[in-house]
Structure 1
Amino acid sequence: MPRPSRLRDQDKPDRLQLLRILWRSLPELWQSSPLLVSLLGLTALLGGVIPAVTLLISKWAVDGVGEVASGGQANLALLALAWAGAALLGQLAGIARAVLQGYAADNFTVQTSRRLMDKMNDLTGLEVLEDPRFHDDIQILQMGAPRRPLNLTSTIFGVFGTLVSLLSVGGVLLTIGWWVPLVVIAGMIPLTLTQMRLYELGWSMTIQNTQASRELNYFQKAALNQQFAKEIRLYGLMPYLTREYTERTLDYQRTMRGVRNKQLLGVLPAQVLALAVTAGVFAYAVWQAQLGLLTAGAVVLVIGALAQVRGDLWSLSDSLGVGSEHLHWFGKYYEFLDAVPQVAAPAQPQPLPQRFDLTLDKVTFGYQGHAPVIEDLSLRIPEGQTVAIVGENGAGKSTLIKLLLRFYDPSAGRILLGGVGEETDLRDLSPDEWRSQVAAVFQDYARFEWTVRENVLLGVPEDPERLRYAADASGLSAMLPRLENGLNTRIGQAYGGVDLSGGQWQKLVTARALYRRARVLILDEPTAALDPRSEAEVFAAFAELARGRTALLVTHRLGSVRMADRIVVMRAGRVTEDGTHEELVARGGEYAELWALQAAQYGSGGAA
C-alpha cells in the first residue's frame, strides 16, 4: 500500500512553483463565479487605463492654458470636463471593483473551504490526522481558509490592474522618448525583487514559527479557558502560565524583529536607486523644456507619470510579495488536496456479506516510525457474540478497534468479514458502507456543543420512533426532564448552553450509538472515568442491548465483563488468553492474576 503523503513545508519554493500554483488557482477562481470574475476583470482593466488617460488630459489642459495665454485657442472647458469625467469613471470603477471583488471572494472562499472539508472527508483513515507533524500544517490551512482566497483574489486583480496602468502610463512616456519608460521601469525592478524576497522571508519565518506560536497560544488558552480553571486555581498555576507565555512571546518577538529589520535595511538600497532614476528623468524633462524641446504640459505629464509609475511599481512589488504569501498558502492547500491516503476506498467495492463474522488473520500493525503495536494476531468473532477485550494499558486494545473500523490498514495480515467461505477483506469493502453497520462509544467520544437532539442524530434524519428507543434504552430519557428544553437543550457554556456531567454524557453517547441500529456495537473504554458500580451498570445495559448483534467491550477493568460470552486477553499486541470468565479464572493465567489484583481493591465481591 502507498504511504500517505503529508503536507511538506514549502519554505523556499522557487518562482516557477509559485507560477504553477497561480496557474492552478486561476481556473478555480473562475469556476467559483464566472460572471463576477469577468466583470471584476473589466473593472480592473478600466481602472488601469484611467491614470494614463488622466495624464494625457492634464498635459493637453496645461498646454491649452499656454496656448490661450499666448493668444491661441483651446477648448479648456471640454478638457476640464473630460478630466473630471475620467476621474469620476476611475472612482466608479474602483467602487465597482471593490464590491465585485467582495462578492467573488466570498464565493471563492466558500468553494475553497468546502474543498478542504470534502478532502477531509476523503481521508477515510486516521493516519494523516494522528501524525503529530500534521498539526502545524492543518493550523495554517484552518487559519488561512477564511481570508487567503479573499486576499489572493484581491492580489490577482490588483496586479492585473497595476500592470495595465504601468503599460498604459509607459506608453504615454514614449511621447517624451522611447527610452524613458524603459529606464524608469528598469530602475524600479531591483526594488520590486527585493520587496518580494523579503515577503518570502516573512512567510518562511511564519512556517518555522508555527509550532512555537501554537504552543505560545496554548499557554494563553490554558490561562483563560474554563476547562482548566479548577486545576489552575488549586495548584497555583497562573504564575507559571504567565511566565511561560511572556518568555515564549519575547523569544518569538525577537525572532520576528530580526525579520522586520532585514526587511527595512534590505529595501533601502533599492529605494535609493529607484529615487535616483526618477529624479534623473525629471531633471532631463526640465532640461528639455528649458531648451524648448518639451512643452510645459509634457513636463507635467512626466511629473505625473513618474509618480504614477513609482506608485504602481511599489504597489506591484507589494502585491507580488504579499501574493507570494497567499500562493505559499495555496501551495499547502493543493498539497493537502493531492494527498493520497493509505486507507482508501477500493475502485470497485465488494458488497457486504450476509454474515458478519469478523476474522483477524495474522494481523501486524505499527504506527508510522514506531515498533508494531499488534503483532501476528489471529482472532475470530462470530456474528452475534459479545466479546470483552481486556488487558493492561498499552496492550493494543484500542489499536485493534481502529483496525476493525478501518481507520488504519494492517501492515501485514488480513481482516475479513463474512461467514466461512464468503469472507471479504475489509480493504475490498467500501469504508462508508462497512462503517454504516457499526456503532461505537469511544473513550474520547466527541462532545459537540450542539443540542442534545443533534448530538444523538449526528446529521441523520430524525426518526421519532428510533430516537425514543435510543433515549429509553440508554437512560437518556430519564435525565431529559432535568434539562430546561429537553432534547432541544443546547450543550456547552461557550454558546449559552448547559454542561453535562460525565454520567449524562455517557447516556447521551450511548443513545447516539443505539440510534444507528448497527449490526456491530463497540464500547471502547468510555467508562474509564466512572466508578466501578456505574461502569458495571453501563456494561450490563450495553450487553443487554447488544443481544442479536456483535458486540465488543474494550476495557482494562475486569469487574464488568463477566456478562460477555467470551473474554479475550491481550498483552503487547498479542492474544494471550481466550475463554469465558470461569474458564480463564480456573486456568490460573494472566487473566486470573489481573482478576485477583483488581478484586482485592474492591473487596471479595470482585466488583473491580
Structure 2
Amino acid sequence: MRKPPNTDPIPTHELLAILARALPALVRSAPGIVSLMGLMVVVQGLTPAATIFLSKWTVDGITHVVGGGEANLTLLALAWAGTALVAQLTGVASTVLQGYAADHFTVQTVTSLMRKMQALPGLDVVEDPRFHDDVETLQMGARFRPLNLTATLLGLLRSLVGVLGVAGALLTVGWWVPLVVVVGMVPLARTQIRLREMGWSLTIQRTQESRELAYDQRVSMRHEYAKEVRLYDLMPYLTGRYVSKALDYQRVMRGMRNKQVLGVLPAQALALAVTAGLFAYAVAQAGAGRLTAGAVVLVIGALAQVREGLGSVTEYLGMGTEHLRWFQKYYAFLDARPGVAPPETPRPLPARLDLRLENVGFAYRDGPPVLEGVTLHVPEGQVVAIVGENGAGKTTLIKLLLRFYDPTTGRILVGGPGEATDLRDLDPAEWRSQIAAVFQDFARFEWTLRENVLLGRPEDEAKLAETVRASGLEGVLPRLPDGLNTRIGQAFGGVDLSGGQWQKLATARALYRDARVLILDEPTAALDPRSETEVFAAFAALSRGRTTLLITHRLGSVLMADRILVMKAGRLIEDGTHAGLLARNGEYAELWRLQAGQYMEGEVEPALREPVEVEQ
C-alpha cells in the first residue's frame, strides 16, 4: 500500500533559496529581454492606479462644471485614452517578450538537464527505479515549467505594482483603508497557496501511477506490441487494467479538487466582507459630505482593483510555489552526486590495456551479490569468450569493465606490468573512447542509417563503405529508398528494419570505431546462421591485435576465442581453451554437449578460423 501524499508546505526560506537560484538563471538566459520586460511590467502595474485617479478627477471635474465651475474635461479624456493605449501596447509587447525570454530559459534549463545526464558516467542512477519518476517529472516539466515560472514572476510583479499603486489611491480615503483590505485578503492567500502545494505533492506522489497508465495505453496502441496483443487477445486485459487504475487515480484527484473548492470558501467570504464593509463606509462618508462623488468612484474602482490585484497576487504566489517545487527537484537533480564519478585528477591512460580483476564482487542496490570473488587477467590483444547460463553475471561483469558501476568489493586494474591503474582513477570518457561494443539490447536510434553508424564521429567515406560491407549492411541498402540517408524507425515516418538488420547496424557501429577493446554481448542473437557466420568472420578480423570480450550462448562462436571463461552463479569456475575445457569434462563440456546437435565443430570452425580481411 502506498503512503499517503506528503502535503507539508515547503518552508519559506527554502522557497526563497530556490527563487534566488532560478531568477538569476532567467536573467542570464536573456538579460536584455528580461530587463525590457520588467520595465514594461512596471508600467502595466501602474496603469490601473492612473486610470482610477483619472476617473476620480473626471467625475469631480464634471461635478464642478455642473456646479458652474471650470475643468479641462478634454485633457482628462485624452489622458484616460492615452493611459489605456499605453496599457494595451505594453501588454502586447510584454507578452511577445515573455515568449522570447521563456524560450531562452527553457533551452537553458533543458540543456542543463542534458549536461547533467552527460555528467553521470555510470548506470547507478539511471537504472535505479526511484530515478524514473524524477526523470519523468523533470522531462515533462522542462517543456513548460520555465515558461510558466517566467509568466508567473512577471504576473506577480505586475500585480504587486498594481496593488501598491491602487493602495496609494485608497490612502486618500484613510491611511488605514489599504491595511484593512490587505489583512482581509491574507487568509485567502494562505489558503490558496496551501492548496496548490497539496496539488503539487499529490502530483509527485502519483507520478508512478501516471506512468503506468501511460504505459498500458502505449502497449495497447504501439506497433512493437501489436503481435502479442492480438495473438493473446490482451485488449480486454489492458482495458480493464487501464480503467481500474484510471478510476483510482481520478478518486484521489477528485478528493484533492474538492478540498481546493471547499477550503477556499471561508477565506473568500472574509475577503468579500471586508470589501463590502469598506464600500459601505465610503458611501456613508459621501452621504455625510466628507467625500466627493469622485472619491466614491475612486473607492469603488480601487476596491475592485485591489481585490482583483490581491487575488492575482495570491494566484501567482500559489502557481509560483508549484513551479518552484519543480525547480527544487530540478536543482536537487543538478546537485546530485552519483556513485560512479570521474576522479578529480584523472591518471593518464596506460600504454598497455591489460585488464586485471582482483577479487571483484558486486551487488545491485538492496540486492544479493551478483558477482563474488572474480579474479582474472586478460592481456591486451587476447580474445576471450565468456559463457554461462542466464544470471551467471556475464553482463554485469561487462558493466563493471565499462565502469557503468564500480565493484562493491575488490578492484579492476588497467595497464601492463608496472603501470596498472585502478579503473576508478581513469577518466571514464577517455577509457570508453578505447572501447567498441555490440550490446544485446543495443539502442535503436530513429535517425538516418548514416547517423546510426557514425554516432557523432567524423565521417571517413572509405572507412564507412568498408564498415557497411563488413557488417552485412551492404545487402540491406538496395532495399532502402535513400540508402545510408534513409531515416529508420517508425516514430518519424522512417523505414523499419528487421531484428537482424538492426543487429547488423549495431555491428557496423562497433566496426566503424577505432577501438583497442571490443565487447560483444550476444552480438548475433537475431541473425540467421549465414549472417552469423559472416558477422563473426568480420569480428574475427576486427579482433586481431585488440582485446575482445565475447559473451554468447552459442558455443559454436567461441572457437574464435583464445580463451574461454565459464561463469556460474556470479563466480568464475573455469578458465581455459576450448580443447582444454572439453578435456576437463566440467561445466563447459556439459554446455557444449547440450548444443552439439546445433553447433558441430567441423561445421563452424572453418568459417571462423579463416576470417575475411577488414581494412581499418
Structure 2-normalised TM-score?
0.95
> What fraction of aligned residue pairs are identical, expressed as a percent?
67
Give, as a single letter, the amino acid of the residue that structure 1 aligns with 2:288: L
Q: Which residue of 1 aligns with 2:504?
A: 507
The aligned residue for residue 373 of structure 1 is 370
User: Is 1:142 matched up with 2:139?
Assistant: yes
Is the counterpart of residue 434 in structure 1 residue 431 in structure 2? yes
Which residue in the other structure is 2:303 paired with? 306
**In the alignment, does 2:576 pair up with 1:592?**
no
Q: 1:159 aligns with which of 148, 156, 162?
A: 156
| Counterpart pick for 1:76 among 73, 78, 81 | 73
SS at match of 1:494: coil
Q: 1:14 to 1:291 in 2, by over 3 A?
A: same
Distance verdict in 2 for CA 1:532–1:475, change over 3 Å: closer
Distance 1:433 1:522 in 2: 16
Q: Is the 1:124–1:343 Cα contact (8 Å) retained in structure 2? A: yes
Q: Is the 8 A contact 2:555 2:599 kept in 1?
A: no
1:386-405 equivalent positions in 2, closer than 5 A: 386-405=383-402
Deviation for aligned residue 1:560 = 1.5
Answering whether residue 540 of structure 2 is matched by residue 554 of structure 1, we say no
Q: How far apart are 1:559 and its partner, in Å? A: 2.2
1:358-408 deviations in Å (ceiling 9; x for gaps): 111111111111122111211111111110001111111111111111111
> Which whole-Å CA distance do the structure 2 matches of 1:371 and 1:594 have between them?
26
Structure 2 residue identity aligned to 1:185: V
Note the alpha carbon deviations across 1:470-521, whole angstroms, 9 max, x for none: 1122122232122221111110122221111112112111111111111111
> C-alpha distance in 1, partners of 2:195/2:384?
62
**Superposed, which structure 2 residues align to 1:24-63 within 5 Å?**
24-63=21-60
Bigger drift between 118-127 and 553-562 goes to 553-562
- Per the alignment, residue 333 of structure 1 pairs with 330
User: What is the Cα deviation at residue 531 of structure 1?
Assistant: 4.8
From 485, 491, 494, the equivalent of 2:488 is 491
Q: Which residue of 1 aligns with 2:124?
A: 127
For the pair 1:293 / 2:312, whether they are aligned, the reply is no
Query: Partners in 1 of 2:476 and 2:597 — Cα distance?
Result: 34
Question: Which stretch of the first structure deviates more once superposed, 385-394 or 342-351?
Answer: 342-351
Q: Is the 8 A contact 2:392 2:569 kept in 1?
A: yes
In structure 2, distance between residues paired with 1:553 and 1:537: 16
Contact 1:200 1:324 in 2 (8 A): yes
1:528 deviates by 2.9
> Displacement, 1:556?
2.7
1:339–1:10: structure 2 CA closer, same or farther, 3 Å change rule?
A: farther
Shift of 1:536: 4.7
Q: How many Å apart are 1:236 and its aligned residue?
A: 0.9
Alpha-carbon distance in 2 for matches of 1:94, 1:418: 66
> Structure 1 residues 248 and 606 mapped into 2: Cα distance closer, same or farther (>3 Å)?
farther
Q: 1:567 aligns with which of 561, 564, 569?
A: 564
Q: How many angstroms does 1:10 deviate by?
A: 9.1
Please say if 1:217 is aligned against 2:217.
no
Separation of aligned partners in 2, 1:82 and 1:180: 27
Asked if 1:106 corresponds to 2:106, the answer is no
Q: After superposition, what is the alpha-carbon deviation per residue over 1:499-556, rounded to whole angstroms, capped at 9, x for unaligned? A: 1111211211111111111111110123334456654543343122211111110123
Q: Distance in 2 between matches of 1:238 and 1:119?
A: 39
Q: In the alignment, which residue of structure 1 is the partner of 2:610?
A: none
User: 8 Å contact 1:386–1:543 — kept in the other structure?
Assistant: no
- The separation in 2 between residues aligned to 1:269 and 1:316, in whole angstroms, is 18
Contact (CA 8 Å) 1:599, 1:607: kept in 2 or not? no
Q: Which amino acid aligns with 1:249?
A: A
How far apart, in 1, do the equivalents of 2:232 and 2:429 lie? Answer: 46
Matches of 1:111 and 1:419, distance apart in 2: 44
Aligned residues: 601
> Aligned to 2:491, what secondary structure does the other structure show?
helix
Contact 1:10-1:332 within 8 A present in 2 as well: no
Amino acid corresponding to residue 102 of structure 1 in structure 2: G
Q: Which amino acid aligns with 2:126?
A: L
Aligned position for 1:3: none
Amino acid of the structure 1 residue aligned with 2:364? Y
Instruction: Using the TM superposition, give the Cα deviation of residue 18 of structure 1 relative to its aligned residue in structure 2, in angstroms.
Output: 1.4
1:270 counterpart = 2:276: no
Residue 13 (structure 2) pairs with residue 16 (structure 1): yes
Q: Distance in 2 between matches of 1:475 and 1:219?
A: 37
The counterpart of 1:191, out of the listed 176, 181, 188, is 188
Using the alignment, how far apart are the partners of 1:13 and 1:576 within structure 2?
A: 55
Aligned residue number for residue 611 of structure 2: none
- Pick from 338, 349, 369 the counterpart of residue 346 of structure 2: 349
Q: In structure 2, how many angstroms separate the alpha carbons of the residues matched to 1:304 and 1:87?
A: 15
Q: Which moved more, 1:570-579 or 1:477-486?
A: 477-486
SS at match of 1:257: helix
Distance in 1 (CA, whole Å) between partners of 2:54 and 2:331 is 47
Q: Which runs of 5+ in 2 are unaligned?
A: 606-616
Q: Distance in 1 between matches of 2:367 and 2:248?
A: 33
Once residues 523 and 55 of structure 2 are traced to their aligned partners in structure 1, the CA distance between those partners, rounded to angstroms, is: 78
Tell me the alpha carbon deviations over residues 146-192 of structure 1, each in whole angstroms, 9 at most, x when there is no partner: 10000000001111111111111111101100110000110011111
Q: Is the 8 A contact 2:472 2:531 kept in 1?
A: no
Kept in 1, the 8 Å contact 2:357–2:375? The answer is yes
Q: CA deviation at 1:571?
A: 1.1
CA contact (8 A) 1:533 1:607 kept: no
1:201 is aligned to 2:198: yes
Listed as ranges, the matches of 1:500-539 within 5 Å are 500-531=497-528, 534-539=531-536
1:13 positional shift: 2.5
Unaligned runs of 5+ in 1: 1-7
The equivalent residue for 1:115 is 112
8 Å contact kept, 2:342–2:427: yes
**TM-score (normalised: structure 1):** 0.96
The alpha carbon displacement at 1:105 in A equals 0.5
Q: 1:5 maps to what in 2?
A: none
Q: 1:477 to 1:10 in 2, by over 3 A?
A: farther
- Counterpart of 2:241 in structure 1 is 244
Question: 1:570 deviation in Å?
Answer: 0.8
Amino acid at match of 2:122: G
Does the CA-based 8 Å contact 2:37-2:98 persist in structure 1? yes
Q: Say whether the 8 Å CA contact 1:11–1:203 is kept in structure 2.
A: no
Report SS of the residue matched to 1:560: helix
Matched residue SS, 2:557: coil
Please list the CA deviations of residues 98-138 of structure 1 after superposition, one character each: whole Å capped at 9, or x if unmatched: 01111011000000000000000000111000001111110
**In structure 2, what residue type is equivalent to 1:371?**
P
Following superposition, the deviation at residue 600 of structure 1 comes to: 4.4
